[in-house]
A = this chain, B = another copy of it.
């Protein structure tokens, strides 16, 4: 590539930090922005900078926020007695989008993974324990993924929470079974077996 195009080359290289964007897509993005949307690109540059500089983690629930406490933690209308433990801020957004949860959250920012050096401290389990001890928390909903790591993390959290002294906290897990609109024919056999075992009377 030519030396003179270095600014363009740098931009194409930098765009590849986006997930799912390779050299070819990055080139297409760079040409598109230069050609059709310089204003949008400048706004993006600005928003990227302020987001990266200012967004940190909520002191209480570890979700992303630019304040010291996120809006959900500061909202007094939300039920303090239920705490939903999720893996990532994206999961908070997913549960919020259902509009059917009014409790608070705790974001692990990952899963237990001892081989990768991610232990209870890295996913803030001490902080979670303190939170359970110091607040009026009555129920923990562990909404980690239905993967091996997610299940292991859920089990570990359940042990920790039930070990809190002088307090009876119930721990639950998201229901598993056939998704709405799911056709049995295409469902994996483990999920189907599980939904048979956990059948509900109607």
Which residues of A are in contact with B by a Cβ distance under 8 Å? 1-8, 10-11, 13-15, 17-20, 25, 27-35, 37-38, 40-55, 64-67, 70-72, 74, 88-90, 93, 96, 109
Copies of this polypeptide in the complex: 2
A40 (CB) vs chain B CBs: closest residue:
B17
Q: B33 touching A64 by the CB < 8 A rule?
A: no
Q: A14 touching B31 by the CB < 8 A rule?
A: no
How far apart sit A44 and B72, CA to CA, in the bound complex (Å)? Answer: 31
List 10 extra interface pairs beyond A2-B96, A11-B48, A18-B32, CB under 8 A. Answer: A4-B67, A4-B74, A7-B54, A7-B66, A10-B51, A14-B40, A27-B90, A34-B51, A34-B89, A44-B48
Q: Nearest-CB distance from A16 to chain B (Å)? A: 9
Q: B43 touching A17 by the CB < 8 A rule?
A: yes
- Please name the 5 residue pairs, one residue from A and one from B, whose CB atoms are nearest each other, closest first: A17-B40, A4-B71, A45-B48, A14-B44, A2-B71
How far apart sit A43 and B89, CA to CA, in the bound complex (Å)? Answer: 24
Q: B7 touching A30 by the CB < 8 A rule?
A: no
Q: Nearest-CB distance from A94 to chain B (Å)? A: 10
Q: B17 touching A44 by the CB < 8 A rule?
A: yes
Q: B34 touching A29 by the CB < 8 A rule?
A: no
Chain A contact residues: helix, strand, loop or mixed: helix
Q: Nearest-CB distance from A29 to chain B (Å)? A: 5
Q: B3 touching A17 by the CB < 8 A rule?
A: no
How far apart sit A4 and B55, CA to CA, in the bound complex (Å)? Answer: 10
Given contacts A33-B48, A47-B7, contact A41 B65 (CB under 8 A): no
How far apart sit A54 and B6, CA to CA, in the bound complex (Å)? Answer: 11
How far apart sit A18 and B33, CA to CA, in the bound complex (Å)? Answer: 7
Which one, B2, B28, B55, B96, contacts A34 given CB within 8 A? B55
How far apart sit A44 and B17, CA to CA, in the bound complex (Å)? Answer: 8
Find chain B residues with CB under 8 A from A67 CB. Answer: 4
